[in-house]
Amino acid sequence: MAQTKKTVSADSGNPLGTLVNLWPYMWPSGRPDLKARVVWATLFLFIAKFVLLAVPYFFKWATDALNGRLDMAGILPALLLGAVALVIAYNLTRLIQLGLNQLRDSLFASVGQHAVRQLAYKTFVHMHQLSLRFHLERKTGGLSRIIERGTKGIETIVRFTILNSVPTLVEFVLTAIIFWYSYGISYVLVTAATVWAYIWFTVKASDWRIAIRRSMNASDTEANTKAIDSLLNFETVKYFGNEEMEAKRFDASMARYEKSATQVWTSLGWLNFGQGVIFGLGTTVMMVMSALAVQRGDQTIGDFVFVNALLIQLSVPLNFIGFVYREIRQGLTDIEQMFELLEVEAEVVDRPDARPLAIENGRITFRDVHFAYDPERPILKGISFEVPAGKTVAIVGPSGAGKSTISRLLYRFYDIQSGAVEIDGQDVRDVTQKSLRAVIGMVPQDTVLFNDTIAYNIRYGRLSATDEEMLAAADVAQIGHFITSLPDGFQTMVGERGLKLSGGEKQRVAIARTILKAPPILILDEATSALDTTTEQEIQAALDVVSKNRTTLVIAHRLSTVINADEIIVLRSGEIAERGTHAGLLEQNGLYASMWNRQREATQAEEHLRQVRESDDLGVVVRKEPAV
């Protein structure tokens, strides 16, 4: 069953809906300290706006004082009537306004960063809650870039919404009132027309640029995905000498990004130019009106300067409105994919009445299990078997028979279509996933380690384990001596995906990790199939120790590793073809016997080839000795 979208969508294309969804992060519950910062930041912001409106008045009065036209004795204190004092007051007011803005930003910084952290955390947790199917279909590089851009977009939207939108509107209103009161309705009408044209043009042009931005983001995601995928498969690239091909693929994505990014910056230039033209025309009209009024004697030079200063101040928030709109729209574009991730529902979820798994002895039961990843292609067709407590059952069969699917169903990475998977008589769908996975240990075929120390990777099985317990687990897994012989011991870094260790060493670390977890149920999913014969025998010895007295399900490719299993189940095309002990299945002379004979012949041929090579190497040495 594919993931579905929530019915209540956090539509990132709807600014109002997005802001509603972001409100809990702007006003975080349980954090009165951050709420107080929001209140104080908003208060200082409004004070700064009122102080800002006083700045052009001091400029006007200073100009009139210098021109001998100042008559404000009833308004200004005597101390401020001098031109020098007014100039000082003008600049002091500007500094106060600047200081209030910086104080506002400092107060709000922790609020914005907390919002980024909370949303990033929520996304990270959500990604781990999604099903295995989702992660198999997604690309890690693209996901990381989506989350990176999304968190930055969240910070932009939260900051600009709280700090700028409403106060800027207040400043527009106050400016209009000042013009109306001091100079008449005509100035208000010109101001309103200029603002309306400016905002209309900004909105239209920004909407046009959004499509370009989406294209740039898609190219950026694609390039990042290709880069990470190529670097993760560094060895494969080297094996086939395809460095040039990988570079060309990456460059092709970057070429598309280059084109889109160039269009983004070019369109920004046209947007800024258009905004400048609109505001320039409005300013010209109002300055001409004021100049004519000065010539008629209706206004002073100070009024002319005041109109110009007020318009300059108005241009800052007006330009900022355009910037805010662009940033919010671009932020919405950047986070829309992140919101889509948050809207994806997990395919496998705990039932409302799910309870913790009550483990008794770890008996596993599959009852008439039917399962398909795709409805058109069934994988398991009515599988029924039991793994008694403390016993070992092996699942073997040709590739594609459904062996590994059984381990995934036991872990409940997927839900079955019909039947039941039970542990100690409890359906895995009725218990919590956390309690289910806590009792199962897994040693997979392809062990991928974290790019950290050996100690970190072993202790991952049980984070609370002591150093002594970790060392004991390593000794049981037959890797303790190897680790202590390393210069850095358990603090040795294993590299990306554990590539600094050999295949056998990685498997031993995985075994030690599982030993430390001490689960009552153990799954060995083709744990030795990728190893050479000698290493396989050593690993198998360690696995035999681990699986003793544990309920063990072995998914095997090499039949030599399961000959001691209490029961062997042979799958073919999603159905049980044969079952029994190793000896009993050989006597049946069926599919298992055929597979055994083929593998034995292949092993014998491999051993014969090894002996021939050793003989040839010895012969070369003997022939060379006389020459020496």
CATH number (domain holding residue 405): 3.40.50.300
What gap in Å lies between CA 412 and CA 428, rounded to an integer?
A: 7
What gap in Å lies between CA 243 and CA 64, rounded to an integer?
A: 74
To the nearest 10 degrees (0 to 180), the angle between helices 301-343 and 32-66 is 160
Same domain, 294 and 390: no
Q: How far is CA 321 from CA 171, 329, 452, 564, in A?
A: 12, 12, 47, 75
Q: With bands split at pLDDT 50, 70 and 90, how would you rate the model's confidence at 622?
A: very low
Same domain, 101 and 241: yes
Residue 623 has what pLDDT? 40
Same domain, 338 and 412: no
Same domain, 230 and 86: yes
Q: Which amino acid belongs to residue 146? A: I
136/304: higher pLDDT: 304
Q: Is 569 exposed, middle or buried (0-12, 13-18, 19+ CB in 10 A)?
A: buried
Examine residue 349 and state whether it is found in any structural domain, yes or no: no
Q: With bands split at pLDDT 50, 70 and 90, how would you rate the model's confidence at 628?
A: very low
Both tokens assigned to 479: 């890797």
Q: How many CA atoms lie within 13 A of 334 on its CB side?
A: 20
What gap in Å lies between CA 346 and CA 121, rounded to an integer?
A: 17
Examine residue 608 and state whether it is found in any structural domain, yes or no: no
Both tokens assigned to 163: 């700090």
Across 163-183, average pLDDT: 77
Same domain, 400 and 319: no
If we measure between CA atoms, which residue out of 380, 332, 108 comes closest to residue 206?
332
302/338: higher pLDDT: 302
Domain interval for residue 155: 15-343
Could you read off the pLDDT of 33-48 as tens digits, one per residue? 888 888 888 788 888 8
Q: With bands split at pLDDT 50, 70 and 90, how would you rate the model's confidence at 435?
A: very high
Same domain, 61 and 206: yes
Same domain, 27 and 80: yes
Backbone angles phi, psi at 233, to 5 degrees: -105, 40
Residue 145 has what pLDDT? 67
CATH number (domain holding residue 104): 1.20.1560.10
Examine residue 625 and state whether it is found in any structural domain, yes or no: no
If we measure between CA atoms, which residue out of 283, 473, 436 comes closest to residue 349?
436
Same domain, 301 and 420: no
Q: Is the pLDDT of residue 7 over 60?
A: no
Examine residue 290 and state whether it is found in any structural domain, yes or no: yes
Same domain, 464 and 332: no
Residue 531 has what pLDDT? 60
Instruction: Give the range among 49-63, 314-328, 614-628 with minimum mean pLDDT.
Output: 614-628
Q: Is 580 helix (H, G, I), strand (E, B) or coil?
A: strand
Examine residue 413 and state whether it is found in any structural domain, yes or no: yes
Examine residue 511 and state whether it is found in any structural domain, yes or no: yes
Both tokens assigned to 35: 């709420």
How many domains does the chain divide into? 2
What gap in Å lies between CA 424 and CA 426, rounded to an integer?
A: 6
Burial 170-195 (b: 16+ CB within 10 A, else e): ebbeebbebbeeebeeebbebbeebb
Q: Is the pLDDT of residue 304 over 70?
A: yes
What pTM was estimated for this model as a whole? 0.63
User: Strand (E) positions, 454-547?
Assistant: 521-525
Same domain, 307 and 419: no
Q: Is 577 helix (H, G, I), strand (E, B) or coil?
A: strand
Q: Which residues contact 381 (CB under 8 A, 6 or more apart)?
A: 370, 573, 574, 575
User: Strand (E) positions, 388-480?
Assistant: 392-396, 418-423, 426-427, 440-444
Same domain, 419 and 298: no
Q: Which residues contact 617 (CB under 8 A, 6 or more apart)?
A: none
Q: Which residues contact 494 (CB under 8 A, 6 or more apart)?
A: 449, 450, 451, 452, 453, 454, 457, 500, 501, 506, 509
Q: With bands split at pLDDT 50, 70 and 90, how would you rate the model's confidence at 627?
A: very low
Q: Is 398 exposed, middle or buried (0-12, 13-18, 19+ CB in 10 A)?
A: middle
Q: With bands split at pLDDT 50, 70 and 90, how would you rate the model's confidence at 152?
A: confident
Examine residue 526 and state whether it is found in any structural domain, yes or no: yes
Examine residue 355 and state whether it is found in any structural domain, yes or no: no
Same domain, 279 and 383: no
